Structure 1
Amino acid sequence: MALYQKTIENFETLLKCDIIDLNKLKTLAFNGCPAENGIRSLTWKILLNYLLLDRTKWETHLAKQRELYRGYIRDTIIKPGLTPTSHSDIVDHPLSSAPESSWTAYFKENEVLLQIDKDVRRLCPDLCFFQRKTDYPCAEIMKQETGFESLRKRIASTSLKVESQTQSRLTGRLEFLSNKTLSQKKNNSSNFTSDDGEYEILADGCEAHWEVVERILFVFSKLNSGQSYVQGMNEIIGPIYYTFATDPNIEWREYAEADTFYCFTNLMIHIRENFMKVYDNSEFGIRVRMQKYTMLLKQTAKDIYDLFEEQHLKPEFYAFRWLTLLLSQEFNLPDVLRIWDSLFADQEQNFQFLFYICCAMVILQRDQLLNETQAHNIKLLQSYPPDTDVHKILEKAVELKRMHVN
């Protein structure tokens, strides 16, 4: 307990400096960020290049970025067709098939919105947090007279029929689905049921946390048309938003939506290749990353590597999801947050430390893997034992990295 309290004091001392020492912060964060006093929330904002190292400039920087995000909401979620274009005498209307019609884009965006909506509703199904009402609904959306509409109403009032894309672009069988049993059905696009009962239907003027996440992802998809939204991004943004939205400091918690948008956007710069097929074979593409992981496994656990070769147990069967989603689906949320402390503190070469964590996960299951069939081993790796101590995994990963580097 004394050591933990000392860690908190070290973080707080460092974070109160006018100029924050990034190297010292990374060293502290790599060994785990305390959740107390908003330390993890603040540290992640710095490690994800959102907050400046010059603390004296935070107030001005944050005010500018948050106002900019409010502008993004105004520019991306306003219903097209309400404002006539000044350069055309033709009235834009929903039945228009013209490529330049704002309604054409609007209906195309609905396809993306439906996928986002489907994904964010099932975020962290073992927690009720994302179904709860946020204390900070979006003011711009809530103002009826502004002409904006909530995404909830947009979905409810629009007939969206899009075939769900569940097959992986690599193997035709992989899915970005949670390991945990999830039995949830949408009802009237405003609530859904689970084994634990029916979630509360929120009244007009209220928003659930999942709706905030939905809006962030929709704004991101519209501002990044070349990349847009890909299933699985919801699993990346979820832990970030949760960390910021549960910050004990009300001044930070109030702006969790805008701050999450920027940190998520900055994180996607590092891992966007995982979600874009065009980059599959690039230096940081998912195929090459799986190859690097496999080579590291060969160097650190030759016996397991040889068994996997013999059993034709390819990394596509399990490591695709591990690497793409930064292990967010393999552990309970508190453990994911602890793993991400180390990943965010060690971002060099696009999360190389993640390879060591994945190898450590496999090595810690050595006894089972070496004595079982291919079918059993695939099941074990696809549903990694959730009760595994992540601290032991991280300790083993550090050991492997030290041995490999030396």
Structure 2
Amino acid sequence: MVADATNSNTRGPLQDTEIIEQIDRDVKRTHPDMQFFNGDSSIAESNRVSVYLDIKHNFLKLVVLTSRFSLHQEAMRHILIIFAKLNPGIRYVQGMNEILAPLFYVFKNDPEPNNAVWLMKPLLCPLLLYKSLRLSYTNYIGNMSAVIHDLIYSVTFVHALKLVSSDIRKLSASEHAEADAFFCFVELLSGFRDNFCQKLDNSVVGIRSTISKLSELLKKHDGELWRHLEVTTKVNPQFYAFRWITLLLTQEFNFANCLHIWDTLLSDPEGPQETLLRICCAMLILVRRRLLAGDFTSNLKLLQNYPSTNISHLLYAASKLGGPSAS
């Protein structure tokens, strides 16, 4: 369906349209029960002129859009589309909207006006572009012209940002939310990018390898439970852990509890990857009694619909499985 992304210059309008349509569908489905994401009070104007910088041809485009998104949905849509354009090796994968949602929510609801990343880090713009390009550097091997093209674009974009920097600094932290969320989204995915690359699924750094690490962690800390799950009842950890890991537990808990978990996930000095595996392992151990009493069907249902739990206790249990972990 999608052309090989080993050369960013091979992408055409059709591929871009398919990605944007998928992003639009997923953004619409992001926490539909929360007023923040889909509130009618913030519906964007139906017709509006938008300005885009065409990466391929290096000129500005004026496009009249018809939008039925809330303002917050539209901001998330912008972030995901820009990320996909700047990262041809990953582009957009279903579920990225769920990872972006907590970041954008926190920045948009920040009451402290001086917390904007733009205000704290004047050199953020070049760093942001560099991080975005670095995510897809493997796609440029043997294609030096593509590297030069993107570097020229980056420099041009940075100069354009300098022209409006005085106006940008007048905005509050909330008004910086879209840019700040984009920076943190790029930073977060730089550590989890291999989980979203299908070509790496069976490699030593792909998602299956990560799931195997979770299996080994459970075997180390609770051999009896590991044996019952994977040997006796033959519950393959991919059946439940794939979603846990790729979506960073955003679908296993309510939004408030997800934010609590992410506080630990993003602040642990060992890094979010190792912390995530410890939390996942703790989730299994906390329901071990029910799992040991269950068969394949009941255990799979339990793990695909994880029960309500005390998040502070979960994080404490996770901290006992390895290095220091904030609770």
TM-score with structure 1 setting the length: 0.56
Q: Please name the residue that 1:276 is paired with.
A: 197
Q: 1:221-254 CA deviation, whole Å, 9 max, x = no partner?
A: 0111121001111111111011111112351000
Q: 1:83-139 CA deviation, whole Å, 9 max, x = no partner?
A: xxxxxxxxxxxxxxxxxxx9x82232110011111111111233121012687979x
Moved more, 129-138 or 212-221: 129-138
Q: Distance in 1 between matches of 2:81 and 2:221?
A: 41
| 1:258 aligned counterpart, secondary structure | helix
Equivalent runs, 1:165-244 vs 2, <5 Å: 190=68, 207-244=70-107
Higher gyration radius (CA): 1
Q: Distance in 1 between matches of 2:50 and 2:102?
A: 31
2:29 corresponds to 1:106:
no
The runs of 5 or more residues in structure 2 that have no matched partner are: 1-8, 52-60, 114-171
Distance 1:333 1:261, change over 3 A: same
Q: Please name the residue that 1:381 is paired with.
A: 303
1:285 CA drift (Å)? 1.5
- Residue 331 of structure 1: which of 253, 264, 268 is its match? 253
1:144 CA drift (Å)? 6.5
TM-score with structure 2 setting the length: 0.69
The runs of 5 or more residues in structure 1 that have no matched partner are: 1-101, 154-189, 191-201
**Preserved contact between residue 214 and residue 277 of structure 2 (Cα < 8 Å):** yes
**Preserved contact between residue 32 and residue 38 of structure 2 (Cα < 8 Å):** no
1:393 CA drift (Å)? 0.5
Q: Please name the residue that 1:130 is paired with.
A: 37
**Preserved contact between residue 290 and residue 315 of structure 1 (Cα < 8 Å):** yes
- Residue 263 of structure 1: which of 161, 184, 195 is its match? 184
Q: 1:54-77 CA deviation, whole Å, 9 max, x = no partner?
A: xxxxxxxxxxxxxxxxxxxxxxxx
Q: Distance in 1 between matches of 2:309 and 2:272?
A: 25
Distance 1:402 1:244, change over 3 A: closer
- Residue 63 of structure 2: which of 148, 151, 168 is its match? 148
- Residue 109 of structure 2: which of 217, 232, 246 is its match? 246
| 2:234 aligned counterpart, secondary structure | coil
In angstroms, what is the RMSD of aligned CA positions?
Answer: 2.6
**Preserved contact between residue 202 and residue 208 of structure 2 (Cα < 8 Å):** yes
Q: Distance in 2 between matches of 1:384 and 1:131?
A: 26
Q: Distance in 2 between matches of 1:241 and 1:134?
A: 18
- Larger RCO (CA under 8 A, 6+ residues apart): 1
2:27 corresponds to 1:120:
yes
Structure 2 counterpart of 1:114, which letter?
E
Q: Distance in 2 between matches of 1:317 and 1:332?
A: 21
Q: Please name the residue that 1:182 is paired with.
A: none
Q: Distance in 2 between matches of 1:349 and 1:259?
A: 20
1:353 CA drift (Å)? 1.4
Q: 1:281-339 CA deviation, whole Å, 9 max, x = no partner?
A: 34432111111100110111111101112111011110111111111110011111111
What percent of counterpart residues are identical? 40
1:402 CA drift (Å)? 5.3
Q: Distance in 2 between matches of 1:402 and 1:147?
A: 52
1:350 CA drift (Å)? 5.4
**Preserved contact between residue 42 and residue 71 of structure 2 (Cα < 8 Å):** no
Structure 2 counterpart of 1:235, which letter?
E
Distance 1:134 1:226, change over 3 A: farther
Q: 1:336-383 CA deviation, whole Å, 9 max, x = no partner?
A: 111111111126365101111111111111111111221011000001
Matched residues, number: 246
Q: Distance in 2 between matches of 1:336 and 1:281?
A: 29
2:270 corresponds to 1:348:
yes
Q: Please name the residue that 1:285 is paired with.
A: 206
1 or 2, which has the higher helix percentage?
2
Distance 1:316 1:361, change over 3 A: same
| 1:400 aligned counterpart, secondary structure | coil
